[in-house]
């Protein structure tokens, strides 16, 4: 136990990446407060049991991160339970919808923006107020995505929310720095968790193929990045996005192979189509 039971809040912290972050924090001595939307949560019970088995301390309460009253209730309960303000907030709660722009429903847009972006804002504001009041500084880590800087098709609402989180991270870092509060973002690439494996059985193979490191990511990869940004080794880092993607989102749309100037598969056919198009224009 290396953090003297400082309190960390992890939103959406009972499953997937959030669960991996909560467990990693507990392993290294953080007391952890987690939430999700469920009033009766089996995933929360399992997480609390695992943290207890590690010798750590964890607390759970349901919370709608996009509702200010629910967020206020959650922080009030966490502070009362642990008798301390949070030193770390991990804005992990998120959702997405798969739909083309022309077919995306307004209710789906509202749900994603409300959860991902408004939820990040509300939790950042509430946690930061407590950190300022406590006077001991702190760290906020937002969980982003490749959508922080790249457009993903059929994910317009999700991409808009994550692009917003990128700028919310930077602006929050500017305003909160005077209080000793650092704000950064971790942007995962393809990460294999229960949800992604369930949605696409070939998920690991697909994402391994496009990552220069040749493998898919795991929750531990993201958790270790969060742990770094929360710690003293990152004490002069703020307003930054750390890409934990195996190099996937550093690649340009490059028409050649990595080893030589051989034209990528399909380029010859594209060249022939270009010739035909030019001939037709003449």
Q: What is the pLDDT of residues 21-51, one digit of tens each?
A: 999 999 999 999 999 999 889 999 999 999 9
Tell me the C-alpha distance between 215 and 126, whole Å. Answer: 37
Torsion of CA 188, 195, 210, 245, to 10 degrees: 10
Is the domain of 82 the same as that of 161? yes
CB 259 within 8 A of CB 56: no
Tell me the C-alpha distance between 117 and 123, whole Å. Answer: 10
| 3-class DSSP assignment, residue 155 | strand
Share above pLDDT 90 across residues of the chain, in percent, rounded to a whole number: 83
Is the domain of 267 the same as that of 160? no
Is the domain of 153 the same as that of 50? yes
- Count of the separate structural domains present in the chain: 2
Q: DSSP secondary-structure letter at 239?
A: S
Q: Is residue 136 part of a domain?
A: yes
Q: Which pLDDT belongs to residue 281?
A: 57
Torsion of CA 35, 90, 212, 153, to 10 degrees: 70
CB 7 within 8 A of CB 186: no
Is the domain of 16 the same as that of 33? yes
Q: Which pLDDT belongs to residue 267?
A: 47
Q: Which pLDDT belongs to residue 256?
A: 74
All residues at 6 or more sequence positions from 214 whose CB lies less than 8 Å from its CB, including other chains = 208, 246
Q: Is residue 2 part of a domain?
A: no
Tell me the C-alpha distance between 16 and 12, whole Å. Answer: 9
The kind and range of the H/E element at 139 are strand 138-143
- Tell me the per-residue pLDDT of 85-106, one tens digit each, with 9 for 90 and over: 999 999 999 999 999 999 999 9
CB 9 within 8 A of CB 88: yes
Is the domain of 189 the same as that of 57? yes
Is the domain of 163 the same as that of 261? no
Q: Is residue 49 part of a domain?
A: yes
Mean pLDDT of the chain: 92
Is the domain of 187 the same as that of 269? no
Q: Which pLDDT belongs to residue 259?
A: 67
Q: Is residue 29 part of a domain?
A: yes
All residues at 6 or more sequence positions from 82 whose CB lies less than 8 Å from its CB, including other chains = 7, 31, 33, 57, 59
Nearest-CA neighbor of 178 among 138, 141, 143? 138
CB 30 within 8 A of CB 6: yes
Q: Is residue 1 part of a domain?
A: no
Is the domain of 151 the same as that of 271? no
Phi (first) and psi of residue 255, to 5 degrees: -80, 0
| Range in 18-22, 107-111, 123-127, 273-277 with the lowest mean pLDDT | 273-277
| 3-class DSSP assignment, residue 141 | strand
Is the domain of 43 the same as that of 159? yes
Is the domain of 271 the same as that of 142? no
Is the domain of 85 the same as that of 204? yes
Per DSSP bridges, beta strands 58-62 and 86-91 are unpaired
With residues binned 3-state (H G I as helix, E B as strand, rest as coil), the percentages for the chain, rounded to 5, are 50, 15, 35
Residue 269 lies in domain: 253-282
Distance from the Cα of residue 125 to its chain's centroid: 17
Largest CA distance in the chain: 77
More confident residue, 11 or 261: 11
CATH number, residue 12: 3.40.50.720
Is the domain of 235 the same as that of 278? no
- Tell me the per-residue pLDDT of 225-254, one tens digit each, with 9 for 90 and over: 999 999 999 999 999 999 999 999 998 887
Tell me the C-alpha distance between 165 and 213, whole Å. Answer: 26
Among the listed residues 60, 158, 179, 256, the single catalytic one is 158
Q: Which residues pair with 33 in a beta bridge?
A: 9, 59
pTM of the model: 0.91
Please confirm, yes or no, whether 179 is among the known catalytic residues.
Answer: no
Vertex 92, ends 90 and 96: CA angle to 5°?
165
Residue 116: other Cβ atoms inside 10 A: 28
pLDDT of 144 strictly over 70: yes
């Amino acid at each position: 136990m290396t953090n003297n039971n400082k309190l960390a809040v992890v939103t959406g912290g009972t499953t997937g990446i959030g669960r991996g972050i909560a467990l990693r924090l507990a392993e290294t001595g953080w007391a952890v407060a987690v939430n999700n939307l469920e009033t009766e949560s089996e995933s929360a019970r399992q997480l609390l049991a695992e943290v207890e088995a590690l010798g750590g301390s964890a607390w759970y309460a349901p919370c709608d991160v996009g509702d200010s009253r629910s967020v206020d209730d959650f922080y009030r309960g966490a502070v009362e339970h642990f008798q301390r303000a949070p030193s770390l907030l991990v804005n992990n709660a998120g959702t997405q919808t798969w739909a083309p722009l022309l077919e995306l429903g307004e209710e789906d847009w509202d749900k994603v923006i409300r959860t991902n972006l408004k939820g990040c804002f509300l939790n950042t504001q509430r946690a930061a107020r407590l950190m300022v009041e406590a006077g001991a500084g702190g760290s906020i880590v937002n969980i982003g995505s490749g959508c922080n800087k790249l457009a993903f098709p059929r994910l317009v609402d999700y991409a808009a929310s994550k692009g917003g989180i990128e700028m919310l991270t930077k602006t929050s870092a500017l305003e909160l720095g005077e209080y000793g509060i650092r704000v950064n973002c971790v942007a995962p690439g393809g990460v294999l968790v229960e949800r992604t494996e369930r949605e696409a059985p070939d998920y690991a193979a697909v994402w391994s193929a496009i990552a220069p490191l040749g493998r898919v990511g795991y929750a531990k990869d993201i958790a270790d990045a969060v742990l770094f940004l929360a710690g003293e080794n990152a004490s002069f880092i703020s307003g930054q996005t750390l890409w934990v993607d195996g190099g996937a989102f550093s690649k340009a749309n490059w028409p050649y192979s990595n080893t030589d100037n051989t034209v990528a598969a399909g380029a010859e056919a594209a060249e022939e189509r270009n010739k035909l198009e030019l001939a037709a224009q003449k």
